[in-house]
Amino acid sequence: MAVDRVLPTPEAHDLLDLVRDLVAKEVAPRAAGDEAEGRFPREVFTTLGRSGLLGLPYPEEYGGAAQPQEVYLQVVEELAAAFLAVGLGLSVHTLSCFPVAAYATEETRAALLPDMIGGELLGAYCLSEPQSGSDAAALTTRARASADGGYVVDGVKAWTTHGGAADFYTLMARTSDNGARGISCFHVPGSAPGLSFGRPERKMGMRSSPTAQVRLDSVRLAPGALIGAEGEGFRIAMAALDGGRLGIAACAVGVAQAAFDAASAYARERRQFGSRIADFQGIGFMLADMATQIAAARALYLDAARLRDAGRPYGTRAAMAKLFAADTAMKVTTDAVQIFGGYGYVEDFPVERYMREAKVLQIVEGTNQIQRLVISRAVTKEG
């Protein structure tokens, strides 16, 4: 079911029409097959890039589309509803570009950003490590200054989406032992000598999106690889994650919408005891709750997006959106499987895939427990 969207401009409506056409032709038909085979749809991202969709929220002067977050996130939702690996992949790419766009010098932006958002390159974001997941400030990957003004980096990053498949990596590494203030941000080309990757993780869902360790063994970076100032990396990382959480919220709404559409269609067609199962109050009330939760989750992420577009603080609202939308996706997909009954538990129907995919959305870009911590601190702060 196509969602009736409220968009700020006629141009935005045209953009969503383009996305829906691209999804119908290039994305949705391959989702089940790529997931079953664990095949990364790299060429889909090339198509997105050539269609101008890899740089939607970034300035036109660098090759972006200068679209507001309100519009960009609805594109993410449409893609995630068809194929989560693609919707989440776009969100991760946008997250990976953010530090250069927001914190790099004008010279560095001009040198890097056009290629990063121009359509041919795909990014990855390296923050988590094997021993520092939620406690990001405890990371140990080390960047040491070199005689030429650059850096030499050693360490291991974990749970990296697009690990081994990306063309560039936005890396957080330690440049001093001063806790969170000792972390800096770097741009690492995917072809850098000394960069290697672990075997892709064998995951419950999102099998066509590679997640792997990124290993840095004396990787040499030029002086221009530093993004922002030394010691600014943790602040950059947290700002990036605020936006990334909105991307995950949009992905979660997309998956939930896809599950609801499948369950609603099935409930209208499936007959038992001489009636459509949609006419049984137990099923009808489940569908009513699913539709309500999806609408609420969508409204919450769009509210946070509009705050960001207006230049107002949005981090707490982003955490709320990610928390509520991911929990909604888990609940809706679980209920969708229940509505399908035995058919919901087999791979002939997509709802079992949606349920497996929804789980990861409660974990990535900060677990939902971390979102509750962020929110609780904000709502109990004095002053």
347 is catalytic: no
Task: Give φ, ψ of 56 to 5 degrees.
Answer: -55, -50
Q: Which of 321, 356, 370, 338 is nearest to 260 (CA)?
A: 338
Q: Check 129, 352, 357, 365 and give the catalytic one.
A: 365
The verdict on residue 344 lying in a domain is yes
What angle, 0 to 180 degrees and rounded to 10, lies between the N-to-C axes of helices 281-309 and 233-269? 150
Q: Find out whether 68 and 305 touch, Cβ atoms under 8 Å.
A: yes
List of residues 6+ apart from 53 with CB closer than 8 A: 19, 22, 65, 75, 90
Residues 259 and 348 in one domain: yes
Residues 333 and 267 in one domain: yes
Q: What is the mean pLDDT of residues 244-259?
A: 98
Residues 310 and 222 in one domain: no
Asked if the model's pLDDT at residue 134 lies above 90, the reply is no
Q: Which of 143, 144, 141 is nearest to 132 (CA)?
A: 141
Residues 247 and 169 in one domain: no
Using CA atoms, how far apart are residues 283 and 276, in angstroms rounded to an integer?
Answer: 10
The verdict on residue 298 lying in a domain is yes
pLDDT in tens, 6-53: 788 889 999 999 999 999 999 999 999 999 999 999 999 999 999 999
- pLDDT-derived band at 84 (thresholds 50, 70, 90) equals very high
13 DSSP 8-state letter: H
Rounded to two decimals, what is the model's pTM?
A: 0.96
The verdict on residue 93 lying in a domain is yes
301: domain CATH number is 1.20.140.10
Task: Give φ, ψ of 126 to 5 degrees.
Answer: -115, 100
Q: What is the pLDDT of residue 48?
A: 94
154: domain CATH number is 2.40.110.10
Q: Is 198 left (phi over 0), alpha (psi -120 to 50) or beta?
A: beta
The verdict on residue 61 lying in a domain is yes
The verdict on residue 3 lying in a domain is no
Q: What is the pLDDT of residue 175?
A: 97
Show the tokens assigned to 304: 């946070």
Amino acid at 314: Y
Amino acid at 154: D
Using CA atoms, how far apart are residues 120 and 153, in angstroms rounded to an integer?
Answer: 26
Q: What is the pLDDT of residue 2?
A: 65
- pLDDT-derived band at 5 (thresholds 50, 70, 90) equals confident
- Domains held by the chain: number: 3
Residues 359 and 247 in one domain: yes
Q: Find out whether 41 and 208 touch, Cβ atoms under 8 Å.
A: yes
Q: Which of 231, 251, 284 is the last residue of a domain?
A: 231
Show the tokens assigned to 143: 């960047």
pLDDT in tens, 139-167: 999 999 999 999 999 999 999 999 999 99
Residues 319 and 275 in one domain: yes
Q: Find out whether 251 and 88 touch, Cβ atoms under 8 Å.
A: yes
Q: Which of 100, 117, 134 is the last residue of a domain?
A: 117
Instruction: Identify the domain containing residue 302 by its residue range.
Output: 235-379
Residues 109 and 77 in one domain: yes
Residues 208 and 249 in one domain: no
Q: Which of 72, 88, 117 is the last residue of a domain?
A: 117
Residues 174 and 310 in one domain: no
